[in-house]
Structure 1
Amino acid sequence: MTQGRSIRLFLVDGTPNGLLTAEIMNWTGHVLTGPRSRLSELVQRPECGRTGIYFLVGADPEGDLRPLVYIGESDDVATRLKQHNRPEDKGGKDFWERVCLITSKDQNLTKAHVKYLESLLIQKAGAVGRCKLANGTAHEYVGLPESDRADMAFFIEQVRTVLPVLGLDFLRSTTKISPSPGLERQAPTELEPNQSVSVSPRLKMEVKRQNIVAFAQEVEGEFVVLEGSLARGEWIDLKHNYRHLYKQLCDEGVLVDDGNGFKMFTRDYGFTSPSSAAAAVAGRAANGRVDWKVEATGQTYADWQDQQVNAAAAMPNESV
């Protein structure tokens, strides 16, 4: 079990939907975020006159279920944000609803640093696949000494730690569980720094009339369907909103034809709930808490989870 970490959040105007700052102990980075509706106040903050990186986040106007994200850098972020706030026909960007700016408290970030950070963050966001990028291809930027590159690697990992706390998940990796459901479960890889591993037993779902079998595990609160699992060859419940998720998985190549009339997961994929995962497998609405079962015992996910809660409640409290 790894040690906890403290993140200091400050509501600038005392409201949860206004400007917010975030800092991590022993990290020189400083985070400022807020809605686009408060941009006039945000650009007056001293942080916006510094060198930094920023994220513009909003819904994808083309209907992708993932957020649309633009990653940028500037010596004067306030000026860049004012440019992005213009109408799109005047060089601005219409899609974004929220901005997140990251600078350094000691103001030691240089133009070379933020160019390097921008390049790496675009690469990481694209590889993680939790957002749709409004950027083009990331430019390779290696104009930093080795020691500075090491410092920037640490800086990025702190960024990836603090952003999910602010509701921005697009840099958080999905833990790799196993290369295929036919193999024994292995220890998860690709863990976040300082992440303790919390993994459920391997779960199995069957759609018996279709001969569909899928496997999953719950990892750090995310429901991950394993690479090689099968799914229905087409979506059949036209009224349910999960059909958009199924289509997106097909469009992104997460689900591909297996040659036998089914779809197959090409990689481990994290869902927000057992029911959304079950729906993707069944090709229709499904109750994942019942349909997913512990592979070794046949116990439903709901019963297994209830057992874990009762066992934890029965344990004596330990003073810290």
Structure 2
Amino acid sequence: MSALGKSVRLFLADGTPGGLVTAEIMNWTGHVIAAPRSDLGTLLKRPETSRTGVYVLLGDDPDAPGGTLAYVGEGDDVGKRIAAHHRQEGSGGKDFWDRVVVLTSKDANLTKAHARYLESRFIAVAAEAKRSSLVNGTAPPTLPLPEADRSDMEFFVEQAKIVLPVLGVNLLRSTRLSAQAAAPAVHASPAGAGASPVFTLTVTGVDANAQEVDGEFVVRQGSLARPAWSGVSLSYEKLRQQLETDGSLVLTSDGKHREFAQDVVFASPSAAAAIVLGRSANGRTEWKVDGTQVTYAAWQESLVEAVTAEGEA
């Protein structure tokens, strides 16, 4: 059974993709606005920013090329809180961010307690997802809410997980499978259940598992890679050095392998294979469906062939 679709409505307020953008999901009372820091004046003029809600400040991580720093906050008037962060660092502001996302409610029914609950949950989910480095000094405890309110706020979080990646914000995006997609079949479609079968890469000095989840290729925690890079110098070597530096790829106690300390998302199967093997590699042929000799490329081809066969039937 394929997953139910979602209708996300985006509006480019100034007609440019790099400017202020609003986002809504059909049948959800939440409202999302994203804007670059250079458009902060325009953002603060909008009525949504005077409401109770949560916000996320985003910027480049200088310690992890390609990485993101993030700060999650809340307020009765989110605009005032964001304006305070716009001050210079020495005046109580924050310098790192260059983009902000504001999440409020169209029906203005979010209370201070709701916002504090959402702030706590966003921080917890972001910490688990490990997509960004959080600069929040502390993680506030999740406030106790009435059962109905808690259910509504958890629904808010789930919708935020959907809409934020559409805006290019992966802060809350998990590499883990939902229970529904936890055991996909060999020919499961990534577009259907949201995940592929498990792929393995097992050669001398390597024993790695990976899965394509929601369109991303994820090498699983506990996978073993070769202890050092041995190929020619490429951009993948720099990526490997970064993963070793940030603790994602650690040396085992016997020094014979590098182990993935957490799930790591890669741009492609070839990038993942290169990091695991310590050299350039064609991930489309190196990764194979667990327990078979079916390569990643052959698996993809089988999905297209299956659709073609259905159309001809």
TM-score by length of 2: 0.87
| Cα RMSD for the two superposed structures | 2.6
Kindly report which structure 2 residues correspond to 1:64-103, keeping only aligned pairs within 5 A, or say none: 64-103=65-104
Alignment check: 8 A CA contact 1:65 1:245 kept:
no
Q: 1:234 aligns with which of 220, 223, 228?
A: 228
Deviation at 1:174, TM superposition (A): 0.9
1:281 maps to which of 254, 276, 295: 276
Q: What secondary structure is seen at the aligned counterpart in 2 of 1:72?
A: strand
Gaps spanning 5+ residues in structure 1: where?
Answer: 178-184, 189-194
Specify the code of the residue in structure 2 equivalent to 1:156.
Answer: V
The answer for the alignment partner of 2:52 in structure 1 is 51
Partner of 1:28: 29
| Counterpart residue number, 1:113 | 114
> 2:218 matched to which residue of 1?
224
Which whole-Å CA distance do the structure 2 matches of 1:125 and 1:150 have between them? Answer: 19
Mark the CA change 1:204 to 1:47 in structure 2 (over 3 Å): closer, same or farther.
Answer: same
Alignment of 1:1-320 (within 5 A): 1-176=2-177, 187=183, 197-208=193-204, 211-237=205-231, 239-260=233-254, 261-316=256-311
Q: What displacement does 1:233 show?
A: 1.1
- Structure 2: give runs of 5+ residues left out of the alignment: 185-190
Q: Letter of the 1:6 partner, please give it.
A: S
Q: Aligned partners of 1:58 and 1:317: how far apart in 2?
A: 50
Structure 1 segments (4+ residues) deviating >6 Å = none
Work out whether residues 197 and 219 of structure 1, in 8 Å CA contact, stay in contact via their aligned partners in 2. no
1:160 aligns to what SS in structure 2?
A: helix
Bigger shift: residues 1-10 or 126-135: 1-10
Q: Is the 8 A contact 2:3 2:193 kept in 1?
A: no
- Asked whether the equivalents of residues 213 and 231 of structure 1 are also in contact (C-alpha less than 8 Å), the reply is yes
TM-score, reference length from structure 1: 0.85
**Aligned residue in 1 for 2:188:** none
* CA shift for structure 1 position 49: 1.1
Specify the SS of the correspondent of 1:106.
coil
